[in-house]
Amino acid sequence: MTLIDFYSGVDDKLHTACRLSAKAVQQGLKVMIYTPDAQVTEQLDQLLWTFSSTSFIPHCRANDMLASKVPVVLSQQSEEFLHDDVLLNLNIDYPSFFSRFKRLIEIIGTTSEDIQAARKRYRFYQDRGYEIRIHKLNGEQIR
């Protein structure tokens, strides 16, 4: 069954996505980042190259010919997923295909809209019996 982690109190969801992706890659996991639209995909693509001054996270988009070889893949399409390790959801809704992954990461921003949407997703997962862990960041660094 998919293990679900909510990270709350996040000021910058894209930076947090980069940090969590880097942490997963260091653990030998592959990450699919499910983005809501082309603009977020582009922003995240650029940020994954530059967010750390001492390293970068190898990544590409799902339609790239290297997608099966890199540890982090960005996609807006549910049918483009190439593995089942970690799904990092940046969408406002729960991904209908999340249960095929071993782990789902949900990042909660600080806006009331984001918090309300996260509560809906939390209830959805909880009602279906998934194990949910909550990590309150409130500006803290992810290690």
Gyration radius from the chain CA atoms: 14
Nearest CA to 35 out of 72, 83, 5 is that of 72
User: What is the Cα–Cα distance from 18 to 14, expressed in whole angstroms?
Assistant: 6
pTM, two decimal places: 0.93
Mean pLDDT lowest for which of 28-32, 33-37, 70-74, 137-141?
A: 137-141
Q: What are residue 132's DSSP bridge partners? A: 4
Residue 56 pLDDT class (50, 70, 90 cuts):
confident
Domains of the chain: 3-136 (3.40.50.10110)
pLDDT of the residue at 102: 97
pLDDT tens profile 123-138 = 999 999 999 999 998 7
Token pair 């997923």 is found at 81
Give the orientation angle of helix 38-50 with respect to helix 13-26, to 10 degrees.
60
The DSSP result for 40-81, as a single string, is HHHHHHHHHHHS-SS----EEETTSTTTTTSSEEEES-GGG-
The DSSP result for 98-115, as a single string, is GGGSSEEEEEEESSHHHH
Type of residue at 88: L
Determine which helix (DSSP H) or strand (DSSP E) holds 118, and give its type and residue range. helix 112-127
pLDDT tens profile 58-105 = 999 998 999 999 999 999 877 767 789 999 999 999 999 999 999 999
